[in-house]
Structure 1
Amino acid sequence: MPESRPRILVTGGSGQLATCLKRTQPAAPDVHYASRETLDLGDEARLRAYLEANPVDYVVNAAAYTKVDLAEREESAAFLANEMAVKSLATVCRDLGIYLIHVSTDFLFHGDFNRPIDEEQQPNPVGVYAKSKAAGEAALMHSGAQGAIVRTAWLYSEFGANFMKTMIRLGTDKPKLTVIADQHGSPTYAADLARGIWKMIETWSAGKRPQGISIYHFANYGVTTWYDFAKSILALAEIETPIDPILTSEYPVVTPRPAYSALWPRKFSRDFQFEIREWREALADAVAAYKKIEGAQK
């Protein structure tokens, strides 16, 4: 990081991505982490007053409503957090000259895909959650703010609630598991995404700042299914519980999931000179970190 010590605000301060940002934070930046309880992004006047009193150079928006199925019953809450709060944040960042990095999702891509999805693909959101995230992206794109949208997929880590930790818990507690085998995606270790975000800020702070809003996809390289992802998790965790593959049609949910939403992160890797790992390599580190935490708590 440059000697100017960029000032950074991270929203969603209690989530797994924010936690990973804390754990991977370089020494130089001046970073504040704000939870929903301490900073309401939906209140534009208070948000503006906060950022005027606590000026920053960058905001990393890791806050979101992510309850995919519950969103069908809580549509107002989903759009308030995923669209209106983003619109307010973008407006304030525009007016105060703050660069905004907004984290978005692979859930935007419902369709018949057979190769990893790049930034040129037009979103096709299905369901309230996906539509609210798409609306937030649109609000940011039309706000006049500067920065980037970073779409990620199948995010997991040793922190918070996520698929990796759920599989380890269920694999320990249950005699057998069933996991969907016909949905394809790109598992992403939140610590790798966090390091990528720090690299973005380092690059921009060196003078290569964007004009308008750029779109990037960030996921660990490779494509897999939830079933194969689960098998890899249990193998690394040394849990021998058998897993049966099932079809999406055998596990009905309120909101349809994308059948194929693997993301292609080459643009991010190229623009920021950042090496992105293959998903199995990243997963091995995540499981090891989880086991270390669990071992320390016993």
Structure 2
Amino acid sequence: MKILVTGANGQVGSELLQAALAIKYNVEVVGYGRSLLDITDIDQVKSILAKEKPNVVINAAAYTAVDKAEEEINLAYAINEKGPENLASFCNELSIPLLHISTDYVFDGSKIGAYAETDVPNPTGIYGKSKLAGEQAVIKNHPLHYILRVAWVFGEFGNNFVKTMVRLGKEREQLRVVADQKGAPTYAKDIAETLLKLAVQINSQTSNWGIYHYCGDTPISWHGFAQIIFEQAKQNNILTSTPKVLAITTKEYPTPAERPLNSILNCDKITQTFKLDLSNWQAGLGNVFNAWK
């Protein structure tokens, strides 16, 4: 099986290329970063797909700068909506299944309890709105798709909360971190493994297309996540000491884009349909620190 990965230089894209080296998947993965494949350019999409002739496409390309999206509206929609539309349209022409990554930010965070795939999206910011538009574009243009909504992604590659906390932990003795936003951190390598597992079973099981939620196994606040990051960083000698972490509210830390207070995703559908485990994010955090040593 040959899998083409877009956004190959990002958090999940990089992990997909690493995970594909494992013999257990027996797949060939070709990765394209934005410099080689701009998914907003339909001619590039057609040219690369025609050249590579993959069995499956995984779209890991995305505009993820949540706050900057409030200003760079056109760019966010180009990458998060038009790009997936281009991929879905041409994958449909070639009958190539498409796996697309989406986000918890399609929800407004007002629900009490975890969000299921059947809950109605209501994004509050441009990032979430553009990602929802991308989901809709995929659904409209290609029936053979899996849309994987993930949350609070971190890993060894790219920019993420863990890297930010470690950097700040080296610079400061005290930090203020939001405590009233809840979610489940998700290790990028686990997302990559899940996508590969979905891809390799497509030939034998193709009746379960649709949207799926996938995230960490234990919800926590950003404040709680920061505390665990610092504890593990110290244990792994990444930090010599742990800063004091003060709990603050979302209102005390205003940002250009509104964040959902509740980002917890119900993942029963994917665990029951495909018998997959959720991301053990604390173990993943340990893996990240081991890789950084």
TM-score range, shorter chain: over 0.9
Tell me, what secondary structure is at the counterpart of 1:116? coil
Name 1:225's counterpart in structure 2. 221
Would the aligned equivalents of 2:154 and 2:162 in 1 still touch at CA under 8 Å? yes
Per the alignment, residue 54 of structure 2 pairs with 56
One-letter amino acid of the counterpart of residue 214, structure 1: G
Separation (CA, whole Å) in 2 of partners of 1:11 and 1:145: 20
Secondary structure at the aligned position of 1:104 is classed as strand
Gaps of 5+ in 1: 1-5
8 A Cα contact 2:70 2:257, kept in partner: yes
Contact preservation (8 Å) 2:63, 2:80: yes
Aligned partner of residue 124 in structure 1, secondary structure: coil
Q: Which residue of 1 aligns with 2:205?
A: 208
Q: 1:68 aligns with which of 27, 42, 66?
A: 66
* Alignment partner of 1:273 out of 244, 253, 275: 275
Confirm or deny: 8 A CA contact 1:221 1:264 kept in the other structure: no
Q: Superposed, which structure 2 residues align to 1:136-151 within 5 Å?
A: 136-151=134-149
Give 1:89's match in structure 2, choosing from 87, 100, 109: 87
Q: Deviations over 1:155-182 (max 9, x none)?
A: 0012211001111111111121110000
CA deviation vs aligned residue, 1:42-85 (integer Å, no higher than 9, x gap): 12123112211210111100001111111111111011001111
Instruction: Give the equivalent residue in structure 2 for 1:22.
Output: 17
Contact 2:139 2:145 in 1 (8 A): no
Q: Work out the CA distance in 2 between the residues paired with 1:92 and 1:236.
A: 45
Match of 2:2 in 1: 7
Note if 1:249 corresponds to 2:251: yes
Match of 1:160 in 2: 158
What is the identity, as a one-letter code, of the residue corresponding to 1:29? V
Match of 1:264 in 2: 266
- The alpha-carbon deviation at position 284 of structure 1 amounts to 2.9
Deviation at residue 222 of structure 1 after TM alignment: 1.6
What do residues 219-272 of structure 1 show as CA deviations (whole Å, max 9, x unaligned)? 011211000000000001114211111111111101100010111222212222
Give the direction of change, closer, same or farther, for the CA distance of 1:36–1:277 in structure 2 (3 Å limit): closer
User: How far 1:20 sits from its partner (Å)?
Assistant: 1.1
In structure 2, stretches of 5+ residues that fail to align are 235-240
Counterpart Cα distance in 1 of 2:122 and 2:275: 30
1:100 and 2:102 aligned: no
Counterpart in 2 of 1:123? 121
| 8 Å CA contact 2:173, 2:242 repeated in 1 | no
> After the TM superposition, which parts of structure 1 deviate over 6 Å for at least 4 consecutive aligned residues?
none
Query: How far apart are residue 201 of structure 1 and its match?
Result: 1.3
Identity of aligned residues (%): 37
Change (3 A) 1:22 1:49: closer
Q: Distance in 2 between matches of 1:77 and 1:23?
A: 29
Question: Does the aligned pair in 2 maintain the 1:183–1:260 contact within 8 Å?
Answer: yes
1:111 shift after superposition = 3.7
Q: 2:207 and 2:40 mapped to 1: Cα distance? A: 26
- State the shift of 1:113 in Å: 1.9
Provide the residue aligned with 2:242 in structure 1. 240
Distance 2:276 2:202 in 1: 13
Distance in 2, matches of 1:195 and 1:209, equals 19
Which of 171, 174, 194 pairs up with 2:172?
A: 174
Give 3-state SS (helix, strand or coil) of 2:136's partner: helix
Counterpart in 2 of 1:37? 35
Query: Secondary structure of 1:142's match?
Result: helix
- In structure 2, C-alpha distance between the alignment counterparts of 1:210 and 1:95, rounded to whole Å: 19
Amino acid at match of 2:46: R
Q: CA RMSD in A?
A: 1.4
Question: Quick one: distance in 1 between partners of 2:177 and 2:230?
Answer: 12
Q: 2-side partners of 1:36 and 1:278: how far apart? A: 30
Q: Normalising by the residue count of structure 1, what TM-score does the alignment of the two structures yield?
A: 0.91
Describe the superposition over 1:186-231 as per-residue Cα deviations: whole angstroms up to 9, x where unpaired. 10000111111111112213x10246x4100010112110000000
- 1:90 shift after superposition: 0.3
1:114 deviation in Å? Answer: 2.3
Q: SS of the counterpart of 2:98?
A: strand
Q: How many residues align?
A: 284
Determine helix, strand or coil for the equivalent of 1:87. helix
